[in-house]
Amino acid sequence: MNQRRQFFKLAGLTGAAVASAVVSRVAMAGLPEPVIRSGPETAAPYLPPDGRPYRPVVTLNGWTLPWRMNKGVKEFHLIAEPVMREFAPGMTVQLWGYNGQSPGPTIEVVEGDQVRIFVTNRLPEHTSMHWHGQRLPNGMDGVSGLTQPPIPPGKTFVYEFTARRPGTFMYHPHADEMTQMAMGMMGAWVTHPKHPHPQIDQVDRDFIFLINAYDVEPGASVPNIMTMNDFNLWSWNSRVFPGIDSLPVRQGDKVRIRVGNLTMTNHPIHIHGHEFTVTGTDGGPVPKTARWPEVTTDVGVGQMRQIEFVADELGDWAFHCHKSHHTMNAMGHNLPTMIGVDQRAVARKIHQLIPGYMAMGSNGMAEMGMMEMPLPENTLPMMSGEGPFGSLEMGGMFTVLKVRKDQKPGDYTDPGWYQAPEHTRARLYEGPLPESLRQKSMTDAGKAADVHSGHQGHAMPEKASEDAALKVVKPRQHQH
């Protein structure tokens, strides 16, 4: 009990945020007492009890797994079990995870640490644990059937190895993977360098999250594990915007963000207002001479990327996956594209048959963000995040890097929205417009788009786009 109370204090958790584990003391005799965190909010960084000089990582909407020293070995206890995960306020999904959460808590160690990890299976089927990216004895690699028998329900296996390489890694089952990863079983692993490392810089803020994806039908609460392509919840640490923690930093902070991808597709991760370099992968640190600046880096399936930058621009900067479908929340996939289609007449007719019917998407999908359509229970609106200027029209894999002058070191609380000085903000303009440059470049098209008179507000002036389309087609016809 003493041990646990200390864990709570070290992890910065309050009693209310923590539910004690339901593991039988008799069955678990000799195992470290597990700590379960029931809330999705980010825990304060877990300060190592032996005062090792490293900056702890901050897991978005998560926490670091406490450990105990046992005769020179760091002992951890992961419990695979069904969990309830709130994706954003208004939607809770039944997943499988570890220690009460999906993803499981982040494991943080120091290069050279001897680790012992107890993995208890409280799932209805067998599992195993693979330590992705680690150098370790083959028998500790966790591939059920290949390097070990699977862990049966109700049983505990123990893994022991030395954390040999510093870097960013992950853990996940290597047993019935299709089901278990689709249900949320995964976690992050950070091995800090033991000594100052020539390719690993000190940073002021160190964030980590895993990219995952789920297919949860509107109104349902269990993911469809058979889905291979049509996921509808694109999540970071099993959370979707506006449920994903912001990244609060102090202006001038050197920031590291570690991202791992355990979905079925790649995710181009993009930052606004800054450039970053990829400083490491799950293969280890990238030599400084091999780095180049980017604003987007693709994180492939089964990869980890570490990006770093100095947050020197004040403001609220979007940080998101650049696949536009991945910044949306749950919806069905069977909607036709209706852009440019005037649905008014047909909607009137359908409305006579189905009183609740709404025509969607004639002017783009932005209207979806404003729509107050009745949704099935436990379903998030598609693009629901609200900002200081209205709907962000974003969901899914999106959050905000919040660079503030006065964000205290070690303070990860959300500072609210940035108040940009008014003269530095894009604004409505109602004066005379300069001569259209577009018009000049389209002299070929005969009648250029008269976007300035009468058509304001329409994305597609019909006449002009028809003419332009004809002109584009013609030269090709000459070639044949």
CB-wise, 382 or 468, nearer to Cu ion? 382
Please enumerate in sequence order all residues whose Cβ is within 8 A of that of 407, keeping only pairs 6 or more positions apart, or say none.
Answer: 248, 249, 250, 251, 415
> Closest distance between Cu ion and the C-beta of residue 237, in Å?
14
User: Considering the complex, what minimum distance in angstroms separates the CB of residue 241 from Cu ion?
Assistant: 12
Region of 259-267, 399-407, 434-442, 457-465 interacting with Cu ion (CB under 5 A): 259-267
- For the bound state, the minimum distance from the C-beta of residue 193 to Cu ion, rounded and expressed in Å, comes to 30
Please answer whether residues 128 and 175 qualify as being in contact, where contact means their C-beta atoms are separated by less than 8 angstroms: yes
What is the closest distance, in whole angstroms, from the C-beta atom of residue 229 to Cu ion in the complex? 13
Q: Which is nearer to Cu ion, 127 or 297 (CB)?
A: 297
Q: How far apart are CA 92 and CA 83, in angstroms?
A: 10
Which residue's CB is nearer to Cu ion, number 37 or number 326? 326
Q: How far is the CB of 323 from Cu ion (least distance, A)?
A: 4
Total site size for Cu ion, rule CB under 5 A:
4
**Residues 6 or more apart whose Cβ sits within 8 Å of residue 71:** none
Instruction: Report the nearest approach of Cu ion to the CB of residue 170 (Å).
Output: 17
Site for Cu ion (CB under 5 A): which residue of 132, 267, 305, 404?
267
Residue (261 or 379) nearer to Cu ion, CB: 261
Cβ distance to Cu ion smaller for residue 321 or 330: 321
Query: For residues 193 and 385, which CB has a smaller minimum distance to Cu ion in the complex?
Result: 385
User: Within positions 95 to 154, which residues make up the interface with Cu ion, using CB under 5 A?
Assistant: none
Site string for Cu ion, 316-355 (x = CB under 5 A): -----x-x--x-----------------------------
Minimum CB distance to Cu ion smaller for 67 or for 398: 398
The dihedral sign for the CA sequence 51, 52, 55, 57: negative
Q: Are the beta carbons of 326 and 232 closer than 8 angstroms?
A: no
Considering the complex, state which of residue 321 and residue 375 has its C-beta at the smaller distance from Cu ion: 321
What tokens appear for 290 in the block?
Answer: 């091999």
| Nearest CA-CA partner of 57 in 170, 194, 165, 190 | 190
Those residues with Cβ within 8 angstroms of residue 316's Cβ, 6 or more apart along the chain or in another chain: 387, 400, 401, 402, 417, 418
Nearer residue to Cu ion within complex by CB, 243 or 248: 243
Stretch of 169-177, 180-188, 212-220, 261-269 lying at the interface with Cu ion (CB under 5 A) = 261-269
Residues 190-229 interacting with Cu ion (rule: CB under 5 A): none
| Shortest distance (Å) from residue 427 CB to Cu ion | 32
Strands (E), 324-436: 386-387, 390-391, 398-404
* Structure-block tokens of residue 424: 């530095």
- Encoding tokens for residue 354? 């189905």
DSSP 173-234: --SSHHHHHHTT--EEEEEE-SS-BTTB---SEEEEEEEEEE---TT--S--TT-SS---EE
Nearer to Cu ion, 10 or 188 (CB): 188
In the bound state with Cu ion, the residue whose beta carbon lies nearer, of 123 and 299, is 299
Specify the stretch interacting with Cu ion by CB under 5 A; choose among 49-57, 260-268, 441-449, 466-474.
Answer: 260-268
Binding segment toward Cu ion, per CB under 5 A, in 155-163, 313-321, 336-344, 427-435: 313-321
CB of 266 to Cu ion, least distance (A): 7
How far is the C-alpha of 11 from the C-alpha of 15, rounded, in Å? 11
Spatial separation of the C-alpha atoms in residues 389 and 30, rounded to whole Å: 55
68 binds Cu ion (CB under 5 A): no
Strands (E) in 8-106, as ranges, are: 18-20, 35-37, 58-59, 68-70, 73-88, 91-98
Angle at 407 (CA atoms; ends 401, 276), nearest 5 degrees:
35
> Buried b vs exposed e over 422-431: b needs ≥16 C-beta within 10 Å?
eeeeeeeeee
CB 136: neighbour CB atoms within 10 A?
17
Of the candidates 223, 226, 306, 296, which has an alpha carbon nearest to the alpha carbon of residue 266?
A: 296
Q: How far apart are CB 414 and Cu ion at their closest, in Å? A: 23
DSSP-derived letter for residue 53 is S
Cβ 326 to Cu ion shortest distance, Å:
3
Could you tell me which stretch among 135-143, 262-270, 347-355, 411-419 binds Cu ion (CB under 5 A)? 262-270
Q: What angle do CA 206, 208, 209 make, to 5 degrees?
A: 160
Q: Which positions lie near Cu ion, rule CB under 5 A?
A: 267, 321, 323, 326
